[in-house]
Chains A and B, each alone.
Chain A
Amino acid sequence: MLRFVLRRLGLTLVAVWGALSAVFLVLHSSGNPAVMMAPVGASEEQIAALSRALGYDRPLAEQYVTFFGDALRGQFPDSHVFQQPALTVVADRLPATITLAVTALVLACVAAGAVGLWSGAGMLRGRGSGAARQWPMGLVFLAQSVPGFFIGVLLVWIFGVRLQWLPTSGASGAGALILPAITLACGVAPALARVFRSSLTGELARPYTRTGLALGMRRGRVLRHAAYGSMLPTVTVLGLEAGALLGGAVIVENVFSWPGVGQLVITALENEDYPLVLADLTFLITAFVVVNLVVDLLYGVLDPRVRHSNGGH
């Protein structure tokens, strides 16, 4: 088990390093931020001096080594725009993103669980294909087909502008969380619901279900066993979707002006604020990889066969 964890941890570090290197190189080949920072009318000498002060006049390889040297010690240069440590700025925005992502994930799990169990319960009662059992999956397909930013704008229009029940943007009060969380959940719930439903259906078709029912076990209890049996594929998808959740957060935060790290990274990119972009993406990438690591480890807990086959190498 220890070797399995260490191996995964090593791969995780390589993934973070690779992704950050790619970001670093693309970012630094797109121009010199000193040009953007200098006030209008600045002379060439002023721009050159600013560039020197920020270290952008040094060879790219040197900047790269410095960046990773600092990053390994948990240090990032000051944000150009906010004139304070980049990591502080990111940390200030973290709670907003975590609140949004966790709420959306809970909503998505609840929705996916409800849709799957509703179908499963119908199957147990022998009413698999009625319209009443099918419409939740219809909703799921709809949510999957419509892009998140469109759902967001639609929800803003209906509940914010027309009905004026909920705020259209910002993070003032819990009411402001509802629309962005639903929008974000809409991006995650469909895949989750489909996998959970299909694997639950598969479990329910297996002989132990029939045996259980024949022995007079209550339907709810049978459903519970089947649900546990279908956890493995569901958790896999949950891990993958947690990544989509972070990507979706960037879009949803911008649609709803939600003051999280997703909105911050867009602003930072627009302002050529390289230290802030790198600090922000370091967080996003790490979060993505760590979630996948946790899923990998959880896999081992849920299904010992995985642990043994991987650890045996």
Chain B
Amino acid sequence: MRSLSLSRRGFLGLGAGVALAATLSGCLGTENAASRSAGSSVVIGLSSGVATLDPMNTTSVGSDLSVLSSVYSSLVTRRPDLTIGPDAATSWERVTSERWRFRLDEEATFADGTPLDADVVVWNVERLLDPDNGLRMTSNFPSLLRAEKIDAHTVDLVTDGPDADLLGALSFLYLLSPGYVEGRNPATAAMGSGPYEITSYSAGGNVELRARDDYWGEKPDIGHVTFRITPSDSAGVAGLLSGELDAVTGLDPQDLERLRTDRKLNVQQQDTSRMAFIKLNTLEGPMKDVRVRRAVNHAVDKKSITTSLLGDTVDPSPGQLMTSDYTGYSDDTTAYAYDPQKAKELLAEAGYGPGNPLQLELTVPSGQYVAGELIVQAVAQQLSEVGVRARINSIPFTVYMQKYLTDQDMSDMQYITQAWPTLAAGGLYGLFLSDSPYAYWKDAEFTDAVTRARSEEDEVERDRLYATAAERARDQAPVLFLFPQPGIAASSRDLTWQARPDDWVRPADMSWKGNA
């Protein structure tokens, strides 16, 4: 009896399997770029999932904020050419050195029809600045004190002293609807005043957007957007090659050749606003000596590294801590020339030589940065040619951050890339001020120049101070200067889209050729 029932179950199972296979085979075939072009939809690959829908509680430009910038609007926006342009505010002026006045677009409304007016801005600034909310965006607004309503469509932002970086920071401040947030969790429910609304979202999963019919600003060309999460590099590349994905940013230089040979794709490469360098611990050990810091800078041939490991996508930095995208960047500095002989002389002056070789530890977080471990090996190899023995220590990023920030126990050298999301020199240089846990460098001259520049109203004087700081940093070498992190993006050939150096991926900037 038992054997019969089991076999019957077996047959049922077999039948179910056959039925399943038949169902699946009915769904064969994938959508391609041509059919999406006709329907004005686009599929964008993101390397990490959208963690939260609360735009004030994230600083991830490449994922969370890129998606949310389509759903919410900000007072001002950073355009693809990196200049600041209008969004919900049509115009703005500096009333006094500590007060900015913004005139809001009177047409601006949220998707549910409520107006985006001065009260909304005041509420949002209060939410941002309330320390009890513990929002991650708050630290980008160190000087902001409050917002004051002037009339229904005019609002003043008051700062504690002049803040030249306020506009850049405001391009990150996305405005929520006070009425909608009431009784909802903004991390999981979003209703904004931007060109798109969310039609599908699950934590860390794909996100789908639809263009709003009643959008008050300029209507985007793309009607439907799917952000597909492809965490592995290979998934992004395979999706591009198979035509499932229309645009992907942050690709690995090692995939460059494969993507370039595909004629359906348009590959774009540029410097990102993220600078790679090897931080030197100037507080203890051999790197206290500026001659040793200069020696390692002379000992490394950065050009050969970018050529061999990064496919010639970037050029070595001219002795700068930040890229030219930042406000306050000065292009007066020159790079340390590749000069092994000079490096050996400097090391000899500092007391190191064949009898007493300099021994260092060089830390790199495993799998965190584009080609990080390869770059570190190349650097160690070149250092060994001038008699410096660098021991590579590859550790998980979490342990690395713990040692770097909490324990204040950084090794002699560590590979790192740094960027400041608002592209303000004052922000990025803040990571090198004497009292910053990020710095491992106490330099009064640099700290003084940056501190003064941050509150300087006159742009010419401000830039002069930042130039002084840049020159000082180049001279004192708190880092082994390397190069900007390469930004490689690929998109369907028929898609008009300019990839950006600052990680933003905005479907409103895209359009299909011949569709517009």
- Cα distance A215–B30 when bound, in Å? 55
Q: Are B238 and A173 in contact (CB under 8 A)?
A: no
Does B83 count as interface, using CB distance less than 8 angstroms?
Answer: no
B431 at the A interface (CB under 8 A): yes
Given A228-B3, A255-B232, the answer on whether A164 and B402 have CB atoms closer than 8 Å is no
Find chain A residues with CB under 8 A from B430 CB.
41
Number of interface residues of A (CB under 8 A): 69
Q: State in angstroms the CA–CA spacing of A231 and B5 once bound together.
A: 14
A257 touches B30 (CB 8 A): no
Interface residues of A in 79-95 (CB under 8 A from B): 79, 81-84, 88-89, 92-93
Indicate the member of B54, B137, B235 with the most A CB atoms within 10 Å: B235
Q: How far is the CB of B385 from chain A (nearest CB, A)?
A: 34
CB-based nearest A residue for B404: A35
Write the nearest CB–CB distance from B448 to chain A, whole angstroms: 19
Closest to A79 in B: B203
B50 nearest CB neighbor, chain A only: A82
Within 8 Å CB of B152, what residues of A?
none
Q: Which residues of B are at the interface with A, using a C-beta cutoff of 8 A? A: 2-3, 6-7, 10, 13-14, 16-17, 20, 23-24, 26-30, 32, 48-49, 51-52, 54, 57, 59, 134, 136-137, 139-140, 185, 187-188, 202-206, 228-232, 234-235, 238-239, 241-244, 396-399, 401-402, 405-406, 418-421, 427, 430-431, 436-438
CB of B437 within 8 A of CB of A44, answer yes
Kindly report which residue of chain A lies nearest to residue B396, judged by CB atoms. A30
Min Cβ gap A258→B in Å is 10
A164 to B242, CA, bound (A): 6
Beyond the given A41-B427, A227-B10, could you list 7 further A-B residue pairs with CB under 8 A, ordered by the A residue number?
A41-B430, A103-B20, A167-B244, A169-B235, A254-B232, A257-B230, A267-B204
Give the segment of A131-139, A152-160, A305-313 that binds chain B.
A152-160
Residues of B contacting A128 in the complex (Cβ-Cβ under 8 angstroms): none
B239/A40 in contact, CB under 8 A: no
A257 to B244, CA, bound (A): 13
8 closest Cβ pairs, A-B complex: A83-B187, A175-B27, A31-B402, A168-B238, A31-B398, A82-B203, A169-B235, A81-B51
Chain B min CB distance to A120 (Å):
14
Task: Pick the contact of B238: A82, A169, A227 (CB < 8 A).
Answer: A169
Question: Do A167 and B405 touch (CB < 8 A)?
Answer: no
Residues of B within 8 A of A110 (CB): 13-14, 17
B7 to chain A, nearest CB (A): 5
Interface residues of A in 22-70 (CB under 8 A from B): 30-33, 35-44, 46-47, 50, 53
* Least distance between B383 CB and chain A CB atoms (Å): 28
Q: Kindly report which residue of chain A lies nearest to residue B188, judged by CB atoms.
A: A84
Q: Nearest B residue to A103 by beta-carbon distance?
A: B20
Interface residue A259 (Cβ < 8 Å from any Cβ of B)? yes
Residues from chain B with Cβ under 8 Å of A164 in the complex: 30, 32, 242-243
> Could you tell me the distance between the alpha carbons of A83 and B56 in the complex, rounded to whole angstroms?
12
Residues of A within 8 A of B397 (CB): 36, 270
Which of A's residues lie within 8 Å of B, judged by CB?
A: 30-33, 35-44, 46-47, 50, 53, 79, 81-84, 88-89, 92-93, 103, 106-107, 109-110, 113, 153, 156-157, 160-161, 164-175, 177-178, 224-225, 227-228, 231, 254-257, 259, 263-264, 266-267, 270-272
Select from chain B the residue with minimum beta-carbon distance to A157. B238
A117 to chain B, nearest CB (A): 10
What are 10 A-B contacts defined by CB distance under 8 Å?
Answer: A30-B396, A40-B431, A82-B51, A83-B57, A83-B187, A106-B16, A107-B17, A109-B13, A164-B243, A263-B231
- Give Cα distance in the complex from A231 to B398, angstroms: 47
Measured between beta carbons, the chain B residues less than 8 angstroms from A35 are 398, 401-402, 405-406
Out of B27, B231, B419, name the residue touching A254 (CB < 8 Å): B231
Asked if residues A41 and B420 are in contact (CB atoms below 8 Å), the reply is: yes
Instruction: Return B322 CB to nearest CB of chain A, in Å.
Output: 13
Please judge, given known A-B contacts A30-B398, A41-B420, A257-B228, whether A84 and B187 are in contact too, CB under 8 Å: yes
Q: With a CB–CB cut-off of 8 A, which chain A residues contact B420?
A: 40-41
Q: In the complex, A208→B50 CA distance in Å?
A: 62
Would you give the shortest CB distance from B348 to chain A, in whole angstroms? 38
Chain B nearest Cβ from A166, distance in angstroms: 7
Query: Is the beta-carbon distance between A92 and B203 smaller than 8 angstroms?
Result: yes
Q: Are B438 and A41 in contact (CB under 8 A)?
A: yes
Flag if A47 contacts B405 (CB, 8 Å).
Answer: yes
Most buried by B among A40, A46, A157, A272: A40
Would A82 and B30 be within 8 Å (CB), given that A168-B235, A169-B235 are in contact? no
B57 and A30 form a contact (CB under 8 A): no
Residue of B nearest to A83 (CB): B187
- Within the complex, the shortest CB–CB distance from A250 to chain B, in Å, comes to 12
Contact A39 B59 (CB under 8 A): yes
B238 engages A160 (CB within 8 Å): yes
Q: Given A44-B437, A113-B10, A156-B238, do A166 and B30 touch, yes or no (CB 8 Å)?
A: yes
* B406 A41 Cβ-Cβ under 8 A: no
